[in-house]
Copies of this chain bind each other. A is one copy, B any other.
Amino acid sequence: MMMENKMDFEQWLKNKKDIIDHWLKELLPGRKEFPEKIHEAMYYSIFAGGKRIRPILSILTAEILGYNDEIVKKPACALEMIHTYSLIHDDLPAMDDDDFRRGHPTNHKVYGEDIAILAGDALLTEAFYILSQLKSDKLPEILRIIALSSSSRGMVGGQAIDIIQTNNPTDINLLKKMHARKTGALLTAPIECAAVLCGEKNTDNFRELGDNIGMLFQITDDILDIRGNEAELGKPIGSDMSLGKSTFVSLLGIEKSEKEAEKYFKSAIKSLHRINVKNNEAVKRFEELIRFIHDRSH
């Protein structure tokens, strides 16, 4: 990838991030609304520097299908809130016990464990409140996709497997099963929701694209946990391994993990090209995003 192109993509990414931040501010309850402390805690984690990958996946999917990003505004923001709540709860002392996230103190370090638990609960609930305002006959299907991908058969189920497997021997199949839920479900949902809202009847190709991106994302995450730069990553290096958790790197080694990442990268690009697209400019951007996930250093 040429440097020029890269600059261009990063600027594009920043513009999208700004749009999403603007949407989130518009859709969340006021930061100073009563009771203030809970709303402050919600804002703190929502605006703590996330990359907004999930809403961007929704936007790009709408764009390759020839639609404007506005069509995915509510589900995209709902999914970002659900993702943020999952990080707040995951960082709690009873879970991963992390003090830092994206270079900032974690929610419970700032607001206390009790408010952090509630801020997570509130963000999850708010996501569904926002969906109630989606003026679309697709609402039941969107609600089904988002609730299922976040549920005990989706993301929360993945977290539970993660807890059960910590300090227990894990094989690569269970690890993949865990990540398909823990990380994959919330990366597939934004793509599937966008496809449904843009009128796609068969979403198989979209889900396949999401599944490949999910696995790619998780493997590069595991590699970064070992190889990353602590300052760029915003959390200590090797933190997953030191928690006694199995990772792609601990089970396969770095070299094989990189090959796995390469495999899912290629599969994601293939899935993307299986979709009947309306906007080739947007497809180029989508490819750049997949490459960005593959190449990212933080």
Contacts and interface: CB of A to CB of B under 8 A. Distances in A.
A152 B42 contact: yes
A2 B131 CA distance: 49
Interface string A126-142: 10110111100001110
Contacts of A161: 35
A102 B160 CA distance: 26
B118 A153 contact: no
Interface stretch (A49-57, A109-117, A232-240): A109-117
Contacts of A129: 143-144, 147-148, 151
Copies of the polypeptide in the assembly: 2
A76 interface: no
Main secondary structure of the interface of A (DSSP, over half): helix
Interface in A93-120: 93-95, 112-115, 117-118, 120
Contacts of A92: 94, 117
A154 to B, nearest CB: 8
A37 interface: yes
Interface string A24-63: 0000010001110111001000000000000000000000
A168 interface: no
Given A89-B121, A156-B38, A151 B126 contact: yes
Given A152-B125, A153-B29, A157-B38, A117 B95 contact: yes
A170 to B, nearest CB: 13
A162 B93 CA distance: 22
Contacts of A153: 29, 33
A252 interface: no
Contacts of A143: 128-129, 131-132, 139, 143
B115 A89 contact: no
A122 interface: yes
A99 to B, nearest CB: 16
A219 interface: no
Nearest to A116: B94
A155 to B, nearest CB: 8
Given A94-B117, A121-B89, A164-B35, A132 B147 contact: yes
Contacts of A29: 151-153
A128 B128 contact: yes
Given A117-B89, A144-B132, A163-B115, A157 B35 contact: yes
For the complex of A and B, 4 pairs with smallest distance between CB atoms? A94-B113, A129-B147, A132-B143, A132-B144
20 contacts: A29-B153, A33-B152, A34-B157, A35-B157, A35-B160, A89-B118, A89-B121, A92-B94, A95-B114, A115-B160, A117-B117, A118-B159, A118-B160, A120-B121, A126-B147, A126-B151, A129-B144, A132-B140, A132-B141, A132-B144
